[in-house]
Amino acid sequence: KRCVGVRQMLSWHPTDPAKCFAPRPGIADEADFRQGVALLARHDQLLEFMLYPYQAEEVARLARDFPNQTFIVNHCGSPIDRDREGMGRWRESLKLLGSAPNIQIKISALTAYDPAPTPESLREVALHCIDCFGVERSMFGSDFPVGRLWTSFDAIFDGFKAIVRDFAEAEQSALFHNNARRLYRIDGL
């Protein structure tokens, strides 16, 4: 049994304190945090983030400053603000994050940020993630058991299958398991 990485919550909303999961804004720019990132890179550990679009520039700076560190953005980069402006901000944040070759994305918690999810609204979010990061740096995640608050595991899995039904078999394998197997160093899948 071994540890392959850690997760840090950076999610800080500038106007809604109820949506803040981080203790303060700007954590990824703090010197102590960056020293920790250097240690993770030295010990070949992943660094996962729960973040909002507001933290994308911080994480992009980390990726640039620590090119040998693998970062994973959880929950599709958390499209928290669902109005037109908020979704535009989210789309741009993923383009920025996706431009860094050492950042991966986990397509998870699709229904957590969508107050009225439809197959099309979930597909739009998932496909934008894949467009920004490519199949090779994207993976599906169930977010279970937390995801149970919004839906069933079967509904999540079936939704993912529907979203990528027209993808090549190798691309589907990458999204459903091969990328996770590689990143988390899981043998036997």
Residue 150 clears pLDDT 90, i.e. is over it: no
Residue 189 clears pLDDT 80, i.e. is over it: no
Residue from 140, 160, 144 nearest 152 by CA: 144
Residue from 139, 123, 111, 166 nearest 48 by CA: 139
Tell me which amino acid residue 176 is: F
48-65 pLDDT, tens digit each: 999 999 999 999 999 999
Tokens of 35: 């020293």
Residue 85 clears pLDDT 70, i.e. is over it: yes
Q: Which CATH architecture has domain 5-183?
A: Alpha-Beta Barrel (3.20)
Q: Between these two residues, 178 and 149, which has the higher pLDDT value?
A: 178
Which residues 6+ apart lie within 8 Å of 79 measured at CB?
A: 53, 86, 87, 90, 113, 114, 125
Minimum mean pLDDT range among 5-14, 15-24, 153-162: 153-162
Residue range 9-18: mean pLDDT, rounded:
97
Residue 123 clears pLDDT 70, i.e. is over it: yes
Query: What is the structure's pLDDT at 1?
Result: 59
Whether omega for the bond prior to residue 101 falls within 30 degrees of 0, making it cis, is no
92-121 pLDDT, tens digit each: 999 999 999 999 999 999 989 998 999 999
Query: Phi and psi of 101, rounded to 5°?
Result: -65, -15
125-138 pLDDT, tens digit each: 999 999 999 999 99
Query: What is the structure's pLDDT at 188?
Result: 65
Query: What is the structure's pLDDT at 144?
Result: 87
Percentage of residues of the chain with pLDDT beyond 90:
86
Please give the sequence-ordered ranges of beta strands (E in DSSP) within 63-181, or none if there are none: 71-73, 103-107, 138-140
Query: What is the structure's pLDDT at 147?
Result: 82
Residue 181 clears pLDDT 90, i.e. is over it: yes
For the chain, domain boundaries:
5-183
Task: State how far the Cα of 158 lies from the Cα of 96, in Å rounded to an integer.
Answer: 29
Residue 2 clears pLDDT 90, i.e. is over it: no
Tokens of 139: 């993976």
**What Å distances lie between residue 81 and 44, 90, 98, 106, CA to CA?**
34, 8, 20, 19
